[in-house]
């Protein structure tokens, strides 16, 4: 069935009911996050951000006129902890962005106590964690003041692009609902991406998927997620809204599994080269810098001394997307096991 305006309306209605609030669709995840931040905070406010994240989060914070304060992470789940949060909090900090890195949930009950102690507003970024459950059984996105979703490539909900924000609590500032259609160039690129993605995943079995994807990026048939520009005026395409809604409805009630399986390895360059020879191209892993991708890292002026664990992890991490089967990744895991941190 052909996608139409009703698909966008139905997606908004589903999100509003599911997360309990006012739903708006946005061009992408970073635009949705910027809208949420503008709704709840004022220019110059400080918000705590995971010290191991993507440039899109940093860009959204800066677009909202806020100051990002990076908190270091724990190696076990790649999330900040109460210990690291206490190190960065000050009297000008008013919010905290929870991202549940790679779909690994934070200790939300502890985060709530921390936020309550200091009067912080919790923003839940579900790019990695739509459908994930916290330890107490609550679903990610149903706890904080707002839920932010990304529908970009390889995210928990993958509709090639698009995003949404659900404003769950009263907000101090009014934000305009994005209403402009996608640019034609973006529409065409995103319309054909599912076909290209399917080809690449099938060719992974004969070790050619990565080669094809890099070629498509080079000729601009595919846009890298990090290059998807922030725009607070545009909405996703109707077909993207339809894809996102279909996937949201299929999320398991018991809780989604982590988005990616991660390992910390020694001699990562050597490990990646060996993986490449076996036909696995994992040089696009999350994240090769504490704030990734590397080509935008200098713009963030990230102070590595404040987040030593995140800085170390960025030098060692390799992670595997969960959309490949165990058989497809069997040899990759064997190679990674040779280099895994802690092995003799």
β-bridge partners, 127: none
Q: Please tell me what DSSP assigns to residue 182.
A: P
The answer to whether residue 237 scores a pLDDT higher than 80 is yes
Q: What is the number of other CB atoms lying within 10 angstroms of the CB of residue 277?
A: 10
Residue 103 near residue 256, CB atoms below 8 Å:
yes
Residue ranges of domains in the chain:
5-167, 260-339
The answer to whether residue 206 scores a pLDDT higher than 50 is no
Angle at the Cα of 310 (from 201 to 87), degrees rounded to 5? 145
Give the pLDDT score at 128.
96
Give this prediction's pTM: 0.89
Give the model confidence (pLDDT) of 21-36 as tens digits.
999 999 999 999 999 9
My answer on whether omega of the bond before 7 falls inside 30° of 0, hence cis, is: no
Which stretch of 8-17, 195-204, 328-337 has the lowest confidence by average pLDDT? 195-204
Q: Please tell me what DSSP assigns to residue 97.
A: E
What is the 3-state secondary structure of 248-262?
HHCCCCCCCCCCEEE
Rounded to a whole number of angstroms, the CA Rg of the chain reads 19
Q: How far apart are CA 308 and CA 312, in angstroms?
A: 6
CATH class of the structural domain 5-167: alpha beta
Task: State both tokens at 82.
Answer: 């109460």
Q: Residue 108: pLDDT band by 50, 70, 90 thresholds?
A: very high
The answer to whether residue 197 scores a pLDDT higher than 80 is no
β-bridge partners, 163: 26, 150
């Amino acid at each position: 069935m052909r996608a139409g305006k009703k698909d966008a309306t139905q997606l908004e209605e589903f999100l509003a009911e599911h997360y309990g609030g006012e739903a708006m669709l946005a061009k992408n995840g970073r635009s949705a996050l910027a809208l949420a931040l503008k709704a709840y905070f004022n220019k110059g406010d400080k918000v705590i951000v995971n010290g191991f994240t993507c440039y899109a989060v940093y860009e959204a914070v800066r677009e909202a006129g806020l100051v990002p304060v990076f908190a270091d992470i724990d190696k076990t789940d790649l999330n900040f902890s109460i210990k690291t949060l206490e190190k960065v909090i000050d009297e000008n900090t008013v919010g905290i962005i929870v991202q549940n890195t790679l779909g690994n949930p934070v200790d939300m009950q502890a985060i709530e106590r921390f936020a309550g102690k200091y009067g912080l507003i919790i923003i839940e970024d579900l790019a990695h964690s739509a459908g994930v459950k916290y330890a107490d059984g609550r679903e990610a996105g149903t706890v904080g003041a707002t839920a932010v979703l990304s529908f970009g490539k390889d995210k928990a909900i993958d509709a090639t692009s698009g995003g949404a924000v659900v404003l769950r609590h009263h907000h101090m500032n009014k934000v305009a609902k994005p209403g402009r259609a996608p640019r034609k160039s973006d529409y065409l690129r995103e319309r054909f991406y599912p076909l290209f993605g399917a080809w690449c995943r099938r060719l992974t079995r004969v070790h050619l998927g990565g080669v094809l994807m890099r070629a498509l990026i080079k000729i601009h048939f595919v846009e890298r997620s990090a290059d998807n520009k922030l725009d607070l005026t545009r909405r996703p395409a109707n077909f993207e809204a339809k894809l996102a809604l279909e996937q949201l409805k299929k999320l398991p009630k018991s809780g989604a599994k982590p988005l990616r399986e991660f390992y910390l390895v020694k001699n990562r360059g050597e490990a990646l080269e060996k993986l490449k020879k076996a036909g696995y191209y994992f040089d696009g892993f999350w994240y090769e810098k504490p704030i990734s991708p590397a080509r935008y890292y200098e713009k963030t002026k990230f102070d590595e001394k404040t987040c030593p664990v995140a800085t170390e992890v960025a030098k060692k991490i390799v992670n595997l997307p969960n959309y490949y089967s165990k058989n497809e990744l069997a040899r990759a895991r064997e190679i990674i096991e040779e280099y895994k941190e802690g092995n003799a």
